[in-house]
Amino acid sequence: MNCGGRAEIAFSTTIRVYFQDTDAGEVVYHGAYLNFFERARTEWLRHLGFEQPQLMRRFGVMFIVRSLEVKYMRPARLDDLVDVSVEVSRMGRAQVTLAQEVRNKNESLVRANVNLACVSTGEFRPQPLPEEIGAAFSGTAGTTTNKRNAKQ
């Protein structure tokens, strides 16, 4: 990933496959991967210093899935420990596209491109990414404030 020439920003979390995630053959049901991706995005936000309720209270925004493209290559199975990654691939004014992947050991199982829209909590209207959040997503947190202070 490269966000406009900035360094790579990636995050990964480990998730165990539970019985509830599988079908009768103990293979992860295709829809369960969307839950894995959601959990990883939530943990990624926490890692960046943002909790979902904080986004709503402090910034008055939330992220909703605008579009999703998923490619299934190999199945995960009951009791597997899978790594689910999140990586920013594109950022717009009011949206961000994430590359997400589920891996078991070094094997890629599922890949997704997830486009999230930043919307107001009250009316669900598109909102520009708050500066602090955009800086964290692009890996430039702290530099925006320093540049602004240098101009004053």
Would you say residue 40 lies in a domain? yes
What is the pLDDT, as a whole number, of residue 142?
56
Give the CA count within 13 Å in the CB-facing half-sphere of 54: 10
Q: List all residues 6 or more positions away from 50 whose beta carbon is below 8 Å from its beta carbon.
A: 133, 136
For residue 69, the domain's CATH number is 3.10.129.10
Would you say residue 152 lies in a domain? no
DSSP state for residue 123 in the 8-state scheme: T
pTM, rounded to two decimals: 0.85
CB 100 within 8 A of CB 37: yes
Range of the domain at 32: 10-142
Q: Is-catalytic flag, 23?
A: yes
Give how many domains the chain has, as a whole number.
1
Apex CA 95: angle with CA 92 and CA 96, to 5°?
85
Interval 19-66: pLDDT, tens: 999 999 999 999 999 999 999 999 999 999 999 999 999 999 999 999
Interval 109-145: pLDDT, tens: 999 999 999 999 999 999 999 999 999 998 866 543 4
Which one from 23, 79, 80, 83 is the annotated catalytic residue?
23
CB 66 within 8 A of CB 115: yes
pLDDT over 90 at 86, yes or no: yes
